[in-house]
Amino acid sequence: MVSDKEIAELIFPDVKETIEDLEKRYPERNLPLGAEVTRFAPSPTGFLHTGSLFTSLICYKVAKQTNGIFYVRLEDTDTKREIEGSGKQLLEQLKLFDVYPSEGYFGDTQKGNYAPYVQSERADIYRICIKHLLEIGRAYPCFCSQAYLDEIRSKQEKAKIIPGYYGQFAKCRFLTNDERAERIRNGEPFVIRFKSNGNHLRKIKVHDLVHGDFEIAQNDQDIVIYKSDGLPTYHFAHAVDDHFMRTTTVIRGEEWISSLPIHLELFETLGFKAPNYAHLPVIMKLDENGHKRKLSKRLDSEAAVSYFLKDGYPGEALIMYLMTIANSNFEEWIFANKFEHMENFTFSFNKMSLEGALFDMGKLNFFAREILSKKNKEEILQLAKSYSKEYNNDLYNLISRDEQYFKDIMNIEREKENPRKDYEKFGNLYDLISFFYDDLFDEILKNKLEFNEKFDKNLISLMLVECKNKLDLNQDEQGWFANLKAIGVEHKFAGNGKEYKANPEAYVGTISDLAEMLRITLTGKKNSPNLYYVMQVLGKERSDKRMEKVISLLK
RNA sequence: GGCCAUAUGGAGAAGCGGCUUAACUCAUAUCCCUUUCACGGAUACAUUCUCGGGUUCGAAUCCCGAUAUGGUCACCA
């Protein structure tokens, strides 16, 4: 009779260490009372997902506000789906949002006493734990083929019973150790399954930091814990890693709730204390049919954090927006704090909504405008430079022509109590400010200018000549406007809308009409920032040239 | 389909048995300010909290049932 121990030895002859050795190697952390250890555990399968940023943000906050540790662990056990270099990129993007770990995997390096933080480098650890499970008879090798697995699945589906590898369907569970040993010696391929003692008719009580208490059926599936490629599955790696990395609170997406019974049983039979769990609601989006669905990286551009980076949103804006989803009281808080020092906000799990929020681009834009409006011209310059250098060459070259000029443009009505909120991102900045540059303005002039058709060309020309000759830029705004008004009145423009309405026959138009002529002439657009300041930035010479040019075009 | 979770306006939500003719924020609309836009200011926008029953003097809030939505059922995480 072959014993469990002998099976374990047969499968892992080279594994000499025990779980006790691991306990010594990775001792409990020496942290102050109440300090939480959280972790972000991404797979290197692509770009940083908006939902992952959300999870990381919360992990980061929880660790930070309890003087704990936030670390990153790379879950690269699915070698088929792995995308080269994406692990490193994930970390780079986290950094851009200031949601950065203090321990673990950093892309190029790893730092911390619980290393390695990359699962593919932890094979020896998993093997020790699995050997232990084999020894105590709570794991067994499974030789079932994919074909058999498919077959029982379809049978189960037909019979409308719970699908999976459990009970009578768990064929290899009933093999004798003698049979196991023989098949292993014969070189048959196998995986290792966890031998569950659960009964799915019985329920266990679980506690979740965001959902509170609820009941859920026990696990009775003999899940695979060790794949044929020698790497563990998520469930097993989760139990082992979060135990030996001494995670106190596992923060992850809600989609994991249903595998919680598996995890709890794993922790228990390994003799580990289970961590606290917080299952976060998932960020959703409305699809074409009006159904909610999880933000999908494949379908929704806003699902990838890189989308916001490419579009030039300030990182703070996304973080702020995500925080409003995380904690309903955050909005009130950030308004009270004038959009400053959001790092001082205290996050709490019980202020978290239980339903997945619909991603709201409009609200993101709102936060982005608020944030950019509060930056000074120097900060705007730096932000615009670092963005454009990476993503927008045309803008970068434009800024580089004359940084002072760029700052003057961006500073229009900025340094005041209620600054303009024209910009939410840098992605469309080029188009918004190109008219300030002569060569680009000439491009605009190639299109027909949209002057109001009720004024004939001669009148427009005349008014432009008048403005050119009589407008004095060396006055303050009030003086300048009085100046403009006087020119208008002289040529039968009403000084304001009321006068015009009272007696429309007496006037050719209003002062607004005059301002519009000037605005279109100088900017090519019907809308622009305050005309006085636009002219200040352009300067007299440039303004005069533009007027001359348009006058000649009108002939 | 089983199991789990969730359910307040266009969106995020507050509310936790009477203080609610349901707070606040975004969006939208209108008005005021005004040289356009943006800003700023004001107003409007759920007679009602998915639905149906019940408990109660009184329910968005408690109980029961239904419905809807989301998640999950892999050698993926």
Q: Going residue by residue through chain A (555 aa), what tens digit of pLDDT does each one get?
A: 899 999 999 999 999 999 999 999 999 999 999 999 999 999 999 899 999 999 999 999 999 999 999 999 999 999 999 999 999 999 999 999 999 999 999 999 999 999 999 999 999 999 999 999 999 999 999 999 999 999 999 999 888 889 999 999 999 999 999 999 999 999 999 999 999 999 988 999 899 999 888 889 999 999 999 999 999 999 999 999 999 999 999 999 999 999 999 999 999 999 999 999 999 999 998 877 777 888 888 888 899 999 999 999 999 999 999 999 999 899 999 999 989 888 999 999 989 988 889 999 999 999 999 999 999 999 999 999 999 999 999 999 999 999 999 999 999 999 988 999 999 999 999 999 999 999 999 999 998 888 988 888 899 999 999 999 999 999 999 999 999 999 999 998 988 877 887 788 888 889 999 999 999 999 999 999 999 999 999 999 999 999 999 999 887
Residue A46 Cβ < 7 Å to strand B: no
CB atoms under 10 Å from CB of A148, counted, come to: 15
Q: Which nucleotide does the CA of A228 lie closest to, via C1'?
A: B75
What are the structural domain ranges in chain A? Answer: 4-17+123-280, 292-373, 377-436, 443-554
Q: What angle do CA A446, A447, A450 make, to 5 degrees?
A: 135
In whole angstroms, give the CA distance from residue A303 to residue A321: 14
- Chain A span 220-259 residues with beta carbon within 7 Å of strand B: 223-224, 227-229, 231, 233-234, 254-259
Residues 6+ apart with CB under 8 A from A140: A7, A134, A172, A173, A175, A180, A192, A193, A195, A222
In whole angstroms, give the CA distance from residue A351 to residue A248: 20
Contact A169, A156 (CB under 8 A): yes
Q: In this predicted structure, what is the pLDDT of residue A497?
A: 77
Contact A54, A100 (CB under 8 A): no
Instruction: Check residue A351 and report its DSSP letter.
Output: G
Ordered alpha helix ranges (H), A26-67:
50-65
CA neighbor of A98 nearest in space, from A53, A37, A36, A46: A53
Tokens 């830029």 sit at which residue?
A: A473
Tokens 């469309």 sit at which residue?
A: A428
Residue type, A530: N
Q: In this predicted structure, what is the pLDDT of residue A103?
A: 98
Contact A278, A210 (CB under 8 A): yes
Fold of A4-17+123-280: Rossmann fold (3.40.50)
Q: In this predicted structure, what is the pLDDT of residue A318?
A: 96
CB atoms under 10 Å from CB of A171, counted, come to: 13
Residue type, A385: K
Which regions of A412-452 does DSSP assign to beta strands (E)? none
CB atoms under 10 Å from CB of A523, counted, come to: 20
Q: In this predicted structure, what is the pLDDT of residue A354?
A: 87
Residues 6+ apart with CB under 8 A from A282: A51, A253, A254, A255, A294, A295, A356
Q: Which nucleotide does the CA of A233 lie closest to, via C1'?
A: B75
In whole angstroms, give the CA distance from residue A132 to residue A223: 17
How distant is C1' of B34 from CA of A140, in Å?
79
Residue A465 Cβ < 7 Å to strand B: no
Q: Which nucleotide does the CA of A419 lie closest to, via C1'?
A: B39
How distant is C1' of B24 from CA of A364, in Å?
18
CA neighbor of A66 nearest in space, from A32, A24, A97, A43: A32
Half-sphere exposure in the Cβ direction for A482 (13 Å, CA): 6
Tokens of A234: 């998520």
Ordered alpha helix ranges (H), A105-253:
123-135, 146-158, 177-185, 234-244
In whole angstroms, give the CA distance from residue A500 to residue A358: 48
Residue A412 backbone class (left: φ over 0; alpha: ψ -120 to 50; beta: rest):
beta
Q: Which nucleotide does the CA of A326 lie closest to, via C1'?
A: B12
Q: In this predicted structure, what is the pLDDT of residue A165?
A: 96
Fold of A292-373: Glutamyl-tRNA Synthetase; domain 2 (1.10.1160)
Residue A369 backbone class (left: φ over 0; alpha: ψ -120 to 50; beta: rest):
alpha
CA neighbor of A74 nearest in space, from A97, A99, A108: A108
Tokens 């290393």 sit at which residue?
A: A115
Contact A381, A406 (CB under 8 A): yes
In whole angstroms, give the CA distance from residue A59 to residue A70: 6
- Chain A span 503-532 residues with beta carbon within 7 Å of strand B: 511-512, 515-516, 519, 526-532
Strand B nucleotides below 7 A of a protein CB? Answer: 1-8, 10-14, 23-28, 34-40, 69-77
Residue A219 Cβ < 7 Å to strand B: no
Instruction: From residue A385, give the alpha-carbon distance in Å to each of A239, A335, A393, A426.
Output: 45, 29, 10, 10
Q: In this predicted structure, what is the pLDDT of residue A57?
A: 97
- Tell me the sheet residues that pair with A139: A194
CB atoms under 10 Å from CB of A208, counted, come to: 16
In whole angstroms, give the CA distance from residue A451 to residue A24: 81
Tokens 């799990």 sit at which residue?
A: A349
Tokens 């009130």 sit at which residue?
A: A332
CA neighbor of A381 nearest in space, from A352, A356, A349, A414: A414
The architecture CATH gives domain A443-554 = Orthogonal Bundle (1.10)
Give the predicted TM-score (pTM) of the model. 0.94
Residue A432 Cβ < 7 Å to strand B: no
How distant is C1' of B43 from CA of A420, in Å?
23
Residues 6+ apart with CB under 8 A from A285: A292, A293, A294, A295, A296, A300, A302, A303, A358, A359
CA neighbor of A490 nearest in space, from A503, A472, A473, A508: A508
Instruction: Check residue A30 and report its DSSP letter.
Output: -
Residues 6+ apart with CB under 8 A from A147: none
CB atoms under 10 Å from CB of A259, counted, come to: 16
